[in-house]
Amino acid sequence: MSKLALFGGPRAVSSDYREIFAWPIVNAEMESAVLEVLRNGNMSGSNLTRQFERAFADWHGRTYGLGCNNGTASLHCAMFGLKIGPGDEIICPSITYWASCLPVYSLGGTVVFADIDPKTLCLDPDDIEARISKHTKAILVVHYCGRPADMDRITAVARKHKLAVIEDVSHAHGALYKGRLVGTFGAAAGFSLMSGKSFAIGEAGIMLTDSQEVYERAAAFGFYERSGELTLPELKAGAGLPWGGYKYRMHQMSSAVGLVQLKKYPAEMAEIDRAMNYFFDRLEGTPGIRSFRPKGEPGSTMGGWYNPMVGYVPEELGGLSVTRFCQSLLAEGFKTSPGCNSALHLHPLFNTVDVYGHGRPTRIANSDRDLRQPPGTLPVSEGLQSRVFKAPWFKRFDTKAIDEIVTAIKKSAENYRELLADDPGNPEIMGGAGLTQLVR
């Protein structure tokens, strides 16, 4: 009989490990903090948000924090704060959540995508320079799935071409790049703090910056209640109403949860890090299997390991598709899925859609050239989907559970030949996040 559960062998994963994946971890202090906000009729106030902003900014050693109602808003604020406007371009990876770049449309700006480095899944520093034009204003860096981007080289490119760096830290709260927290490298950083992320406090986000101008512009953009604080003459002259026409204030239930979460996050991160590193250490040397962690890069860490992925190399497993490989993992009892998001540049919203009625696609509505990027232009981003599958995101260090999942993966890799016969191959679209229609 085969060893693989798919063919009637014993399942590698024997138990239901819901407990070790449960997230966020809610404690009594959080519960009473929320109740206090409710009972005080203080949901739309700002006192707790101010405390949370100060504490979150202090954690990063940054001067200003601006609590927002979500991460998308924090990135919109960062872009407006840095004066990105009509015709301006930002350079952003094509493998990311849409909110890293889409807010730029409503500022009249646009996005040019750069490819990712297959070893880090973050912006490839070698692919940035060729994407720079006279309209480029900023490099939007995403520390994807907790992995710090190569900030030394990205910062060097930015400095050489006098571009701002905006960090999207929605996946990497608390991650270190060579000993320094991510979110401290850019002129501004935006963080999602929504409940699926590693620093999870509800629908919330925060922007960090050391620049008074960036902070005040962002406040003027979407926080009418802060207009009394504006000091820059050009902002004061129009103060009172939000310049963007947006209202981005953070909900105080989230601020209250955030103040508690700041206290317990370091210990949670440490336990996740221990579990995830144990998992990938055990997989080391397994044919076809890789990790994206910054191993051998002193001082760099993965923070809370948001949405971790396992690298998959079909060439080492006789060309077996990741889809077939995952069928075996599922049969072994490991709940995973093949692939990841499709590349953003292939979606109609970056090719054909005219959002604001300019009479041309919004992507190029204010551009002096056609900067759209057809299929084939960002090969690593376009091919990544067939080279990854979802890793277990352990929140607790439980060696029995981890070992069982490791066994499921090793067993499937070692017996890959048995899986080749009925390999259906990969479907055309493998990821979610709204990327279900692609330009081909």
Ligand X SMILES: *Cc1c(COP(=O)(O)O)cnc(C)c1O
Give the binding range for ligand X (CB under 6 A) out of 53-61, 64-72, 80-88, 338-346: 64-72
Of residues 226 through 265, those in contact with ligand X by CB under 6 A are none
The footprint of ligand X on residues 159-188 (CB under 6 A) is 168, 170-171
Helix (H) or strand (E) holding 310: strand 309-312
- Tokens representing 134 are 């006279």
Q: Which of 137, 197, 390, 411 is catalytic?
A: 197
In the complex with ligand X, which residue's Cβ is closer, 307 or 377? Answer: 307
Tell me if 122 sits within 8 A of 136, measured CB to CB: no
Terminal CA-CA length for the chain: 44
CA atoms within 13 A on the CB side of 340: 26
Please report how close the Cβ of residue 251 comes to ligand X at its closest, in angstroms: 12
Residue 232, classed as helix, strand or coil, is coil
Helices (H), 365-427: 379-383, 399-414, 416-420
Instruction: Give the shortest CB-123-to-ligand X separation in angstroms.
Output: 12
Q: Which is nearer to ligand X, 99 or 430 (by Cβ)?
A: 99
Site string for ligand X, 183-222 (x = CB under 6 A): ---------x-x----------x-----------------
From 45-53, 69-77, 116-124, 328-336, give the range in contact with ligand X by CB under 6 A. 69-77
Applying CB under 6 A, among 99, 158, 207, 378 the residue interacting with ligand X is 99
Helix then strand count (H, E) for the chain reads: 12, 12
Contact with ligand X (CB under 6 A) among 100, 252, 328, 381: 100
Q: Is 264 a catalytic residue?
A: no
CB of 260 to ligand X, least distance (A): 19
Give CA separation, 302 vs 116, 306, 314, in Å.
Answer: 18, 8, 25
Smaller CB separation from ligand X, 203 or 229: 203
Q: Among residues 56, 57, 62, 96, which is the contact residue for ligand X, using CB under 6 A? A: 96
DSSP characters over 314-378: GGGGTT--HHHHHHHHHHTT----B--PPPGGGSGGGTT--SS--SS-GGGTT-SS-----TTSS
**Looking only at residues 108 through 147 of this chain, which bind ligand X when binding is defined by CB under 6 A?**
142
Using CB under 6 A, pick the residue from 4, 56, 70, 221 that binds ligand X.
70
Which residues make up the interface to ligand X (CB under 6 A)?
70-72, 96-97, 99-100, 142, 168, 170-171, 192, 194, 205
